[in-house]
Structure 1
Amino acid sequence: MGTKWEQELDQMRKQRREQIMEATYDLVLEKGLMSITIVDIVKKAEISRVTLYKYYNSIHEIVFDIQIKILNEMSGLLDEKLTGKNGLEKLQDYFATFIRMYRAHPDYFCFAAMFDQFYQSSYPTPELEERYQSFTKQGIVRIEQIIEEGIRDGSIRRETDPVMMAQILSHIMMGTTQRIAVRSEIYKTESKVDSKEMLNYLTNFLTSSLAADSADGR
Structure 2
Amino acid sequence: MSLKWDSELDELRIRRRTEILDEARELFLEKGLPRVTMRDISKEVGVSTVTLYKYYKSVDEIAAEVKRQILIEMKQFFNEISTDSTAYEKIINWLKQWETYLKEKDDHVRFQAEFDLYYQSQKLEIEQGYYLELFKINGNSIPLVFEQGQNEGSIRTDFTANELTAWTFINILGIVHQLAARGPLLENDSQLSTEKMMEMTIDSVASFIKRS
TM bucket by the smaller chain? 0.7 to 0.9
- Aligned equivalent of 2:27: 27
CA distance in 2, matches of 1:161, 1:180: 29
1:77 corresponds in structure 2 to: 77
RMSD: 3.0
1:64 and 1:132 in contact (8 A); partners too: no
The range that moved more, 159-168 or 97-106, is 159-168
Question: Is 1:190 matched up with 2:185?
Answer: no
TM-score (norm 2): 0.81
User: CA separation in 2, counterparts of 1:58 and 1:101?
Assistant: 29
**C-alpha contact (below 8 Å) 2:164/2:209 kept by paired residues:** no
Quick one: which amino acid aligns to residue 135 of structure 1? Y
| Structure 1 counterpart of 2:174, one-letter code | G
Asked if structure 1 preserves the Cα contact closer than 8 Å seen for 2:87 and 2:154, the reply is: yes
**1:57-72 equivalent positions in 2, closer than 5 A:** 57-72=57-72
Count of residues paired in the alignment: 206
Contact 2:75-2:135 at 8 Å conserved across structures: no
**TM-score, scaled to structure 1:** 0.79
Aligned match of 2:97: 97
Alpha carbons 1:140, 1:166 under 8 Å: kept: no
Aligned pair in 2 of structure 1 residues 12, 172: CA closer, same or farther (>3 Å)? Answer: farther
Range moving further from structure 2, 196-205 or 113-122: 196-205
2: CA distance between counterparts of 1:116 and 1:153? 36
Aligned to 1:138, which of 133, 138, 143? 133
Mark the runs of 5 or more structure 2 residues left unpaired by the alignment: none
1:7 and 1:91 map into 2 onto residues whose CA distance is: 47
**Is this contact kept in 2: 1:24–1:62, CA < 8 A?**
yes
CA distance in 2, matches of 1:135, 1:212: 28
- CA shift for structure 1 position 132: 6.2
The amino acid of 1:176's aligned partner reads I
- Unpaired segments of 5 or more residues in structure 1? 124-128, 214-218
Q: How much has 1:103 moved relative to structure 2?
A: 0.6
* C-alpha deviation, 1:137, in angstroms: 5.0
